[in-house]
Amino acid sequence: MEIKFLETYLAVVDAGSVAAAARILDVAPTTIAQQIKALEKEVGCRLLGRVGHTAKPTEAGYRMLDRARLVVREAKDMCTVAASDALPAGPLRLGATYSALMGLLPPALREWNRRYTDIEIFIQPGDSVPLVQRVADSDVDAAVIGDPLFPFPKSCDWALLREEPLVLVTPASMRVDDPLDVIAREPFIRFDRSFMVGKLVDIFLQQHGINPKAQFELDGTEVIAKFVAEGLGVSILPKCPQVVAQDAGTRYWPLPEPCPTRNVGLLWLRSSVRAPLSVALRDILLESP
């Protein structure tokens, strides 16, 4: 059985259509269709049902879905183990938050490409909490995330990369003598409380007994900073590169203690055959300014 055909089948299932899978795999839709047809002939039953432009697994397709993922994963691990280089063969499957993609990762990936020209990194964006589970389930090998405020799985290792204290972000023209007074007085742009940063902001507000006049509740450091720059309110954000590097439209101010800190780090599965790749990436990230 061709492993590549199984990969194609999984790509169609995950993408939801032959056309979408073809774009992801960068092949013609006819190639996808031929490989699926060959796989169905080999297993002796239909695996995909098509309705309009969508494709969904048949009952038989669903039954073999988990096993197909396992076979593909084991095949990739076999290639990694067989590699004779100092580091295992790639690719390194890396999860990353949007904040990491905008800050920590670009210079680290540039250095990775310089050192390890033959080892690819496949990036899968996501939020911190789901990415923890994806690392534990071996869906990804490692992830650059914010500390989710709960214990990590014992099967994983964690390396702290950066500590980002919360700061008050205001329009550049605003004078701030007392940050707590500004937060209580001005319209407040709150970070979405379903995310870790929003939870940290909530902890700070509760510790200082502040109930701000929430104007908006948004997800995304850059979006919130833009709203602040436009004079729509003030906010509390982690002191990350995106905040520090904002143009003259905003200014950030330290907050009084107790003040939570967002800890950003690399989480990886200790037992993965690609764990040495995760450690190599950790070292590069720790070297980054």
What's the CATH number where 65 sits?
1.10.10.10
Residue 274 lies in domain: 90-162+263-287
pLDDT for the residue numbered 79? 62
Rounded Cα distance between 289 and 282, Å, is 13
**What is the rounded average pLDDT of the residues 58-78?**
80
Q: How many domains does the chain have?
A: 3
CATH of the domain at 174: 3.40.190.10
User: Confidence band (pLDDT; 50, 70, 90) for 222?
Assistant: confident
138: left (phi over 0), alpha (psi -120 to 50) or beta: left
Let me know if residue 81 belongs to a domain: no
pLDDT for the residue numbered 84? 45
pLDDT for the residue numbered 47? 87
Handedness of CA 206, 207, 211, 217 (dihedral sign): negative
Rounded Cα distance between 71 and 196, Å, is 35
The vertex-178 CA angle with 205 and 164, nearest 5°, equals 55
190 lies in the same domain as 270: no
Tokens representing 282? 């950790």
Let me know if residue 275 belongs to a domain: yes
Let me know if residue 8 belongs to a domain: yes
Distances from the Cα of 150 to the Cα of 96, 129, 238, 240, angstroms: 18, 9, 19, 22
**What is the rounded average pLDDT of the residues 258-279?**
93
Distances from the Cα of 135 to the Cα of 56, 156, 278, angstroms: 26, 8, 12
User: Confidence band (pLDDT; 50, 70, 90) for 86?
Assistant: low
**How many percent of the chain have pLDDT more than 90?**
52
Least confident of 52-56, 81-85, 109-113: 81-85
277 lies in the same domain as 258: no
Q: In this predicted model, what pLDDT tens digit does every residue of 144-168 receive, in sequence order?
A: 999 988 899 999 999 999 999 999 9
102 lies in the same domain as 146: yes
Q: In this predicted model, what pLDDT tens digit does every residue of 165-211 receive, in sequence order?
A: 999 999 999 999 999 999 999 999 999 999 999 999 999 999 999 99
**Given a cut of 70, is residue 62 above it in pLDDT?**
yes
User: Confidence band (pLDDT; 50, 70, 90) for 57?
Assistant: confident
**Contact predicate 53/19, CB 8 Å:** yes
Let me know if residue 21 belongs to a domain: yes
